[in-house]
Amino acid sequence: MKGRSVILDDIKGRKAAALMVDGRLEDFLIDPADDTPAPGAIFRAQVDRQMKGQGGVFLTLPQGRAFLKQAKGLAPGQSLLVQVTGFAEPGKAVPVTPRLLFKSRYAIVTPDAPGLNISRAIRDEDERDRLLEVAHEGMKGADEGLGLILRSACAGADADEIADDISAMRSLAEQVQADAEGAPELLVDAPDAHELAWRDWAEPAPDEVVQGFDAHGVLDAMVALQGGVALSGGGSVWVEPTRALVAVDVNTGGDSSPAAGLKANIATARDLPRLLRIRGLGGQVVVDFAPMPKKDRRQLEQVLKAAFRADPVDTVLAGWTALGNFELQRKRERRPVERGLFE
């Protein structure tokens, strides 16, 4: 299968979406199995109590609790609008932020962050001028404090479609901000897997959007990921989540050349964002790279930085440990894909 394809389906009653590029699985999304608040959901929450020593405050949601960091000046019982930023670890409160984003395919409306901005990925000056005109028209008469970001998918897109997207996000933002007082309530639900695929896989535009995982090899690709992933040159990489962290092990296989370790490590570094993204893994990641000379570490670090720079999930490269492992800290934007889901 050549080209860029978005495949939509349902797995055990849950919406799912896959992105295939030239026959290789590049991304995978699936709805949570429960009603846990998902990233993007917007709540009217109520302040519960400050957590001294943790620099945050617990909030009451319609179901369960949330945790807000750096929450100065908030009083118990106070209502405020918050947005879920990631999935909570088992037994912990949902992480939220008071900085709301109303995000769609072309537009992101930003309350309390005024200004009109065009994605830096759009470099053609004529195109930027065209989009700036659309932005000015779409935000004319908007509430004070509302800002707008036009995403990279706007490049070459129809002006009316962009304007409709701006109008929808602007109206939603104004409606939510006007509903800030009251008991805890879900105001905007998180997008499901099909909506996320439409919203976030628009750039570059897919060659086709089709239905059915079986007919396009998605299920086979997901099953193959349950074990080790073969690397060019005969090596392999294993990604295994534990309760505390995600462990990644790199093996050189049958390659016994002097540069075997470096080759396997570079291949792993290039593919690591995809391997974590497809599995929905986040939090602390520890990579046990294959043995190689210390002088090669800088080269490997450059490959890692380039690979994660293009990844949509926020990742911090923490560096090397005393035992020679490499640590990453990755945002928990997705729920881990369950091992038995495709059986």
Tens digit of pLDDT for each residue in 187-218? Answer: 999 999 999 999 999 988 899 999 999 889 99
The yes-or-no verdict on residue 343 having pLDDT over 70 is: no
Question: How much is the average pLDDT of 40-68?
Answer: 87
Question: How much is the average pLDDT of 5-14?
Answer: 94
The reported pLDDT for the residue numbered 143 is 84
The reported pLDDT for the residue numbered 304 is 97
102-191 placed in CATH 3.30.230: yes
Question: CATH 3.40.630 spans which residues of the chain?
Answer: 225-342
pTM of the entire structure? Answer: 0.90
The reported pLDDT for the residue numbered 53 is 62
Helix (H) or strand (E) holding 8: strand 4-11
Sheet holding 283-288, edge to edge: 229-230, 236-241, 246-251, 283-288, 326-330, 315-320
What pLDDT digit, counting tens, does each position of 226-242 carry?
Answer: 888 988 778 899 999 99
pLDDT band with cut points at 50, 70 and 90 for residue 33: confident
- CATH code matching the domain that covers 225-342, chosen among 3.40.630, 3.10.620, 3.30.70, 2.60.120: 3.40.630
Question: How much is the average pLDDT of 83-97?
Answer: 90
The yes-or-no verdict on residue 54 having pLDDT over 70 is: no
Q: Quote the DSSP letter at residue 29.
A: E
Q: Reduce the DSSP state of residue 318 to 3 states and report it.
A: strand
The reported pLDDT for the residue numbered 1 is 67
The yes-or-no verdict on residue 326 having pLDDT over 70 is: yes
pLDDT band with cut points at 50, 70 and 90 for residue 6: very high
The reported pLDDT for the residue numbered 243 is 87
Sign of the torsion angle spanned by Cα atoms 313, 132, 190, 64: positive
Asked whether the beta carbons of 23 and 2 are under 8 A apart, the reply is: yes
The reported pLDDT for the residue numbered 38 is 93
- Find the range with the poorest average confidence among 85-99, 106-120, 148-162, 263-277: 85-99
CATH number of 42-97: 2.40.50
Burial class (CB in 10 A: 0-12, 13-18, 19+), 152: middle
Question: How much is the average pLDDT of 295-323?
Answer: 95
Of the chain, the percentage scoring pLDDT greater than 70 comes to: 98
pLDDT band with cut points at 50, 70 and 90 for residue 92: confident
Cα three-residue angle 164-171-182, rounded to 5 degrees: 155
More confident residue, 71 or 7: 7
CA distance 288 to 245: 13
The reported pLDDT for the residue numbered 142 is 86
The yes-or-no verdict on residue 314 having pLDDT over 80 is: yes
The yes-or-no verdict on residue 52 having pLDDT over 90 is: no
Average pLDDT, the chain: 92
What pLDDT digit, counting tens, does each position of 140-183 carry?
Answer: 988 889 999 999 999 999 999 999 999 999 999 999 999 999 99
Sheet holding 102-103, edge to edge: 102-103, 107-110, 147-150, 115-118
